Amino acid sequence: MVIGVLALQGAFAEHVRVLARLGAAAREVRLPADLDGMDALIIPGGESTTIGKLLVLTELDNAIRARAATGMPIWGTCAGMILLGRNLGDSGSRVGEPQPLLGLMDLRVRRNAFGSQLDSFETTLKVPAVADRPVPAIFIRAPVIEETGPGVEVLARLPDGHPVAARQGRCLATAFHPELTDDLAFHRYFVEVVVAEAVADGRKGGWT
């Protein structure tokens, strides 16, 4: 199994290291051709506006949408969750320039929901679909999900009720950074459940 990790900006190296711990081959993705042969793609945390602009510049935005349309699993963490969403509400623009989005999940996401870098925090979350124990979660200038469409399954919520992890078909989104902890639960879930289900369907040839 080969998992692509978008490597335009952000915490892509950390995802590559975690995937190696799971025994999954990882390959950095910077251009549309790099998606060839991928079983899935992870979009890491970082600066969502910067990553979005680079996706447009490299034409990876359209290439990723095309792969998603044919069944390739995609997971976005933090900024990656923002990019997977379809709506940013009032947090979508700072200087009149819209945030580029992939629009692959029916989510309204609020950026920087907890404040600045100084307001980052770590907690544990109950995620029954992912693990039978609390899962550590690191939030760094993190977003939250403000609204979900009917096809979205919420996987985890904060105590205030805000969703912070969700799945829609073969797309997975987390507001936090599993790659910055020693816990493999979310990466294992993505690789051994989401991606494995897609590969078992025999559709790999359709998105490569």
Q: What is the pTM of this model?
A: 0.92
Per DSSP, the residues of 117-178 read GGG-EEEEE--TTT-SS-EEEEESS--EEEEE-TTPEEEEE-TTS-EEEEEETTEEEESS-G
Is 15 a catalytic site residue?
no
Clarify whether 171 is annotated catalytic: no
- Which CATH code, of 3.10.20.600, 3.30.70.1070, 3.40.50.880, 3.30.460.80, is assigned to 2-207? 3.40.50.880
Which of the following is catalytic: 78, 146, 171, 187?
Answer: 78
Q: Where are the domains of the chain?
A: 2-207
pLDDT (tens place) for every residue of the chain, 208 residues total: 899 999 999 999 999 999 999 999 999 999 999 999 999 999 999 999 999 999 999 999 999 999 999 999 999 999 999 999 998 876 655 555 578 899 999 999 998 788 666 568 999 999 999 999 999 999 998 999 999 999 999 999 999 999 999 999 999 999 999 999 999 999 999 999 999 999 888 655 455 5
Q: Is 147 a catalytic residue?
A: no
Active site residue: 146, 171, 177, 187, which one?
177
